[in-house]
Amino acid sequence: MKAHFFINSRLFARGRLTDSGAPWSKTVMPVRFAVLEHPSLGPILVDTGDAPHMIAEKSPALRFYYDVLKPDLGDGHTPKSALSDLGHTPADLHSVVLTHYHADHIAGLPEIMDADLIGDRHALARLKAMSRLRRLRHAVFHQHLEPLAKGVRGFDETPAVRSETALGDGFDILGDQSLLAIPLPGHGLGHHGLMWREADRPVLYAADTSWTMAALMNDSLPLLTRGAIFAQSRAGRDSEDRVRAFIAEGGLVHLCHDEKSSDDIAR
């Protein structure tokens, strides 16, 4: 399996909110998504990034969200442009895997409406059943859920398998053990990572388990952020511990909002 990461947009945040060892000054957080190239099944899109057209949406809550985060979409990639860079079109997609349902992971879905979607079906059902206000407390907007009306194939509808790593069990979402969905609860409802192998080394896309690699590896995710954003604090700590143990046993980790991999920090 070969992984390609693409920057979709950039968010600006106070460094101290992402890592208690970082200064308060403004820091740039990229929003990334990935295309995994399976040797026989074709490309698999992992998340979609944010989507500029949603900014024009006439929803006060969504406008407020984008006003606060001020995502700079610049010349960032969308699923279509990323696939095109790799010589593919959306019609070539085997599937789209959603790590969770936050805007910067699913807002690009309208570009690839025909693709098969895989995600946490229970989390999606819970989010759909919530009132708009309650959903907002989970940082999920109903506009972004509309392309998910057809639902997702649930991770747990695929065979449960051992990852044979410190990450514990996962789901064999492609049926050939080449890509496992790993439950990493703590960040958003239904949050999962994805594990595959490159040169026989296990690789994990840990999505938003942490925002920066330094905060993950130094265990310095600030309490304020942990409480406000990572609502299930205890579960989040357990997920971080498993990801750190995975790195310690030789695994390579990527995050959504940091271009540095775990290898870059260890060096």
Q: Which positions touch Zn ion (CB under 5 A)?
A: 102, 188, 208
DSSP code at position 148: G
- For residue 146, what are its two tokens? 């509309």
> What's the CA gap between 9 and 253, in Å, rounded?
21
The encoded tokens of residue 128 equal: 């759909």
- CB of 89: closest distance to Zn ion in angstroms? 28
Task: Report, in Å, the least distance between residue 188 CB and Zn ion.
Answer: 5
Nearer residue to Zn ion within complex by CB, 36 or 256 = 256
For residue 41, the minimal CB distance to Zn ion (Å) is 26
Residues 6+ positions from 144 with CB-CB distance below 8 Å:
54, 101, 103, 106, 107, 109
Q: At its nearest, how many Å lie between Zn ion and the CB of residue 267?
A: 27
Measured from the CB atom, the residue of 127 and 174 that comes closer to Zn ion is: 127
Judged by CB, which is closer to Zn ion: 94, or 100?
100
Q: How far is the CB of 187 from Zn ion (least distance, A)?
A: 6
Helix residue spans in the chain (DSSP H): 15-18, 60-69, 79-85, 103-106, 121-129, 132-137, 142-145, 213-217, 223-228, 233-248, 262-266
Residue 101 or 165 having the CB closest to Zn ion: 101
By beta carbon distance, the residue nearest Zn ion is 102
Nearer to Zn ion, 49 or 170 (CB): 49
Query: Shortest Cβ distance from residue 101 to Zn ion (Å)?
Result: 8
Of residues 229, 221, 189, 187, the one with CA closest to residue 206:
187
**Nearest residue (CB) to Zn ion, 78 versus 210:** 210
Nearer to Zn ion, 94 or 105 (CB): 105
Least distance (Å) between residue 92 CB and Zn ion:
27
| Phi-psi label, residue 262: left if phi above 0, alpha if psi -120 to 50, beta otherwise | alpha
Name the token pair of 38.
């399976």
Phi, psi torsion values for 2, nearest 5 degrees: -115, 135
Residue whose CB is less far from Zn ion, 41 or 148: 148
The burial class, CB within 10 Å (0-12 / 13-18 / 19+), for 25 is exposed
Q: How far is the CB of 169 from Zn ion (least distance, A)?
A: 23
**Shortest CA distance to 100 belongs to which of 244, 248, 239, 251?**
239
Cα separation, 242 vs 138, in Å, equals 24
